[in-house]
A and B are shown apart, each in its own frame.
Chain A
Amino acid sequence: MTIEAELETERDPVTTDLAHGIDALVRRVLASVVRVVGQGQGVGSGVVWRINGGIVTNDHVVAAHAGGVAVELDDGRVRPATVAARHPAFDLALLHVEGVAPGELRMAATGTAAHLRVGELVFAVGNPYGQRNIVTAGIVSGFGEARLPSVAQPLRYILSDVLLRPGNSGGPLVNAYGGVVGINAMIRGGDLAVAIPTEVVQAWLNDQDQIL
């Protein structure tokens, strides 16, 4: 008997609910996570931010592939994408998948990073070393602040102890409610994961709308 089957038989409410909770949360998020593919290679992760084909990733993921990238969707289909906008200082990039059919992309649910507290559960989803859909868990460890030369306001970012590896970049950091609270961008000092808060992504995208 598998451990899962045993737990089902015992009907331990807390254990099964916790396990089901993580399973339900991850399955919901995975539908909105893409693999960003460069010249034939997986280079990172991305989050479906807009139903019309807008995908958010890190700028450093696409910096070397500005001519064009492809995204591999949750169901394995690969679609060409253009780099619609870049913000190197925030390490953000917006990809656009052309000709998206209704219902083809599942928009990620977003959470509020400003409400995050140290100690809250968070999950990272991405494609480390090109492997699809790897989930790591941890907590919010703290917050950091960066003063960027080209930006008036200091950037407040999220620190967490989730395990990130190359290829996780551009993937979502998700809170216990299943909402995307940040975009995983880098690893600081060997073991601290840095994520760009959802509000920063949203504000930048709103600016893009005004320009376009």
Chain B
Amino acid sequence: MEHTPDIRVLALLSNQMADAVEQAGAAVVLVNGRERLPATGVVFDTDLVLTADHVLERDEDITIETASGTTLAARLVGRDPASDLAVLRVDGLGIAPATQGTARVGQIVLAVGRPASGGAMASLGVVSALSGPLRRRRGVAVEQVIQTDATPYPGFSGGPLIDAQGAVLGILTTGLVRSTPLAIPTAVAWRIAGLLAQQGHMQRGYLGIASQPIHLPVAQRGGLTQERGLLLMRVEEGSPAEQGGLLLGDILVSVNGQTITDTDQLQAVLSTAPVGTALEMGVLRGGAVQQVVVTVGQRA
């Protein structure tokens, strides 16, 4: 049949998306780590595979299957239940790591998974929203999440959300928020994966304070222009905060020179501050600004 120029544009887009699945699919593996349906993983570094934590129901006897159908033994290197990510080492994997990309709202995306032998699967959608931080009971799990309307089919957890060029924008998981498909942005997922590969677990920064955002009366701003700060409601005994000299009733206004007006901002700073980092904290105490140095500790 003849093709009008209009339809040719559709065909180009169609072929490009199929190429994207094929290209990204080379770094997408099947992960066998539970009794029921297998799940998916992405090669993010030499011999290292990133997958979802909740799809690994056992610590041993894990295998992966590559795009070419080869089954290889995998060793669990580390898990982070808070972000639902886990890292596997596969000796002699020999697959080039996936290309990284950054998600933008409205962008056409494909969810890719390898839940069965015999070819990757995919679904189409857009980036619906970038939101976060995502909190769990013990603080921030990930700073940002990608929401998409692309359908994650059973076994897609641990697989990539890719753009039309095949770059990985995020790692899919249905295990973070019940029945809500999300993707962890590549920049965040790769950083957590790198730490898991190095040390086997995630150290999340711990200060030992409970705080509440409050409005600062003009007379008590100590010359600052900001209208809000974090009132310390509790300073745990023996915690980094106490050792650094923070007191109950202090009002936290800055960390390392960056204004802090709500708890999300503090969590965002903490999520990127490795254990052992010294943070210079500005607090209002008795109506005047004081600087206190607190060294980030590790949650027991």
- Give residues in A with beta carbon < 8 Å to B: 14, 17-18, 20-25, 109, 117-121, 137-143, 159, 161, 175-179, 189, 191-192
* Partner-contacting stretch, out of B12-20, B44-52, B126-134, B138-146: B12-20
A99 to B52, CA, bound (A): 61
Contact B18 A117 (CB under 8 A): yes
Check B10 for interface membership: any CB of A closer than 8 A: yes
User: Which of A159, A176, A178 touches B121 (beta carbons < 8 Å)?
Assistant: A159
Chain B residues with Cβ below 8 Å from A140 are 18, 122
Known: A118-B18, A121-B17. A142 touches B7 (CB 8 A): no
A22 to B151, CA, bound (A): 22
Residue from the set B17, B22, B25, B150 with the largest chain A CB neighbour count within 10 Å: B17
How many A-B pairs have beta carbons closer than 8 Å: the answer is 97
Contact B21 A118 (CB under 8 A): yes
Interface residue SS majority, chain A: mixed
A161 to B112, CA, bound (A): 12
Contact A176 B110 (CB under 8 A): no
A118 to B6, CA, bound (A): 22
Chain A residues with Cβ below 8 Å from B19 are 119
Contact A177 B21 (CB under 8 A): no
Contact B6 A24 (CB under 8 A): yes
A189 to B116, CA, bound (A): 15
Contact B21 A117 (CB under 8 A): yes
Shortest CB–CB separation between residue B228 and chain A, in angstroms?
A: 41
A177 to B8, CA, bound (A): 7
As a 0/1 sequence over residues 144 to 160 of chain B, the CB contacts with chain A under 8 angstroms (1 = contact) are 00000011011000000
A210 to B124, CA, bound (A): 41
A18 to B4, CA, bound (A): 12
A22 to B8, CA, bound (A): 10
**Closest residue of B by beta carbon distance from A14:** B9
**Closest residue of A by beta carbon distance from B24:** A119
As a 0/1 sequence over residues 98 to 129 of chain B, the CB contacts with chain A under 8 angstroms (1 = contact) are 00000000000010000000111111100000
A119 to B120, CA, bound (A): 10
A20 to B10, CA, bound (A): 9
Shortest CB–CB separation between residue B15 and chain A, in angstroms?
A: 7
A120 to B214, CA, bound (A): 53
Check B3 for interface membership: any CB of A closer than 8 A: yes
Which 4 interchain pairs have the tightest Cβ spacing?
A176-B14, A119-B21, A142-B121, A121-B14
Shortest CB–CB separation between residue A68 and chain B, in angstroms?
A: 33
Check B300 for interface membership: any CB of A closer than 8 A: no
A120 to B21, CA, bound (A): 9
Contact B122 A141 (CB under 8 A): yes
- 4 further A-B pairs in the complex, CB-CB below 8 A; given A118-B122, A176-B13, A179-B1: A22-B10, A139-B110, A178-B3, A178-B7
